[in-house]
Amino acid sequence: MTLEDTKAARVEELARAKVNLALHITGQREDGYHMLDSLVVFPEIGDQISVEPAPDLSLQITGEFSAKIQDDPADNLVIKAANMLAEHLPSASGVQIELEKSLPVAAGIGGGSADAAATLRALTRSWGVSPSPTDLAKLALSLGADVPMCLEEKPARIRGIGEIIEPLTDLPSGAIVLVNPLIEVSTPAIFHTLEKKSNAPLPEMPEEFESMKALANWLKSCRNDLQKPAISQAPEISEVLDLLASQPDTLLARMSGSGATCFALVETLEAAQAIASHLQEAKGNWWIKAARV
């Protein structure tokens, strides 16, 4: 195989961050899984998955946050996703997978799940296979409750434990600022701290939102049920939320998932970039990004 052929065979997928604009915890099953009702979006920012043909299946981890997940690559969701998909495909062959880790770890934005989902998408392209959407969704769910929604990577209302995905095609375009004070939050610890597990679902959703401002106004009638217990574990989250809410162009400030990443919804990418630049000057040691959504 020539160098040109190798380059042509390289497959890349962006593992977009998953942001919970609202997250209501509505119950808990006997097996321990929590039931939820959530509105999720996937900004144009994430980790990068690259796949190239190789004699064996291997994983190389690079990027800003690679050191956080280097200890046991075999336990990485990327390798688990690749091995699981390979077991279902007789045509599977060796590949070298590179994960460029640009998203913070344990940050409430689905980094590991997004990586696993992007790996599934990249390998189906690399191996030239098209598993049925149902089979792929079942495989994704076996990797984790967030993986199916990350596989779709589209704005959606999510229910059940994450497997009921209702795509939303009429959400307005806008931008988002993501901020993490670079503290890791334990999701099990947050759920353990959550006082009430059976909360009301999302309120009735309008058929369409005329603007990002209209969406933000509706979201103000929603919540993230994990935000309060997360703040009790990591008070720095309050500082992040206060700073984001104080920016003139911020339409809504809230925490995503189990934290500690928080977001501000704004109308334009230019406004998001201005907020990110301003916060970076004040908090240069935080992870701060602006992106379209």
Please tell me what DSSP assigns to residue 37.
Answer: E
> What domains are there in the chain, each with its CATH number?
3-167 (3.30.230.10), 175-292 (3.30.70.890)
pLDDT of residue 9: 85
Instruction: Give the list of residues 6+ apart from residue 98 with CB closer than 8 angstroms, or none.
Output: 48, 49, 50, 51, 52, 59, 60, 61, 62
Please tell me what DSSP assigns to residue 224.
Answer: B
| Local confidence pLDDT in tens for the 293 residues of the chain | 343 444 448 999 999 999 999 999 999 999 999 999 999 999 999 999 999 999 999 999 999 999 989 876 667 999 999 999 999 998 899 999 999 999 999 999 999 999 999 999 999 999 999 999 999 999 999 999 999 999 999 999 999 999 999 999 989 999 999 999 999 889 899 999 999 999 999 999 999 999 999 999 999 999 999 999 999 999 999 999 999 999 999 999 999 999 999 999 999 999 999 999 999 999 999 999 999 99
pLDDT of residue 75: 74
Q: What share of the chain is helix, strand, coil (3-state, %, to 5)?
A: 35, 25, 40
The predicted model scores a pTM of 0.94
Residue pair 261/178 in contact (Cβ under 8 Å)? The answer is yes
- CA 41 to centroid of chain Cα atoms: 8
As given in the structure block, the two tokens for residue 155 are 């704005």
Please tell me what DSSP assigns to residue 75.
Answer: G
pLDDT of residue 74: 65
pLDDT of residue 2: 42
Task: Give the residue numbers marked as catalytic.
Answer: 18, 146
Residue pair 262/238 in contact (Cβ under 8 Å)? The answer is no
Burial of 2 (0-12, 13-18, 19+ CB in 10 A): exposed
**Rounded Cα distance, 155 and 171, in Å:** 8
pLDDT of residue 4: 41
* HSE-up of residue 238 (Cα within 13 Å, Cβ side): 7
Residue pair 12/48 in contact (Cβ under 8 Å)? The answer is yes
pLDDT of residue 6: 41
